[in-house]
Copies of this chain bind each other. A is one copy, B any other.
Amino acid sequence: MAGMLLVVSGPSGAGKGTVLRAVMDRRSGMFFSVSATTRPPRPGEQDGREYFFMDGKTFSELRGKGGLLEWAEYAGYFYGTPEGPVRERLARGQTVVLDIEVVGGAQVMERCPEAVSVFLTPSDERELERRLRGRGTESEETIQKRMARAREEYRFMDRYRYIVVNDALGEAVKTLEAVITAEGARAERRPEIFSQYREKTTV
């Protein structure tokens, strides 16, 4: 059985990282896709862990031959999802997780309509603002930038199949796990059941 491509988006402050780590700790057969970038590594970042770090020429060659599921440019650097490792894991039946912003998410959904898309958000927008403001140590300008970025993310919310509310971590983890379990039980993902009973159904 082919695996499942799981696209997870949501504004900064939605807690994507924490929820995804918890789900991946609890389930086997999950593979977290690592993006490629032309941004230089920061101290402590490892090639192949946070990102695949590559120069501009390598990145544009990869993009040119259609080797990226999605890509985007931010602040002068390129970011993208290499398609090879994703396809390879899907072929092995694994669940491949893309933690991705909404423009990239939209590209993936267009290229892979069978992708399972999840938008993570707090249920209350005042809570989102509280989280974006953080501990109050950052400038109003930084906070306003984050808010603008969050608004951009919400503009794409209606393209996602599921909305997972993250007000309490445990509930969000449980809901995301339920989405993965339920999607695994969708009829089109169980062809072996149909073939098992084909003889019966054609009698």
Contacts and interface: CB of A to CB of B under 8 A. Distances in A.
Interface of A: 119, 121, 123-125, 150-151, 154-155, 157-158, 160-165, 174-175, 177-179, 181-183, 185-187, 190, 192-194, 196-197, 199-201, 203
Nearest to A201: B154
Contacts of A193: 121, 123, 157, 163, 165
A11 to B, nearest CB: 9
A123 B196 contact: yes
A162 B179 contact: no
8 contacts: A123-B196, A125-B200, A158-B187, A161-B186, A162-B182, A162-B187, A163-B193, A177-B178
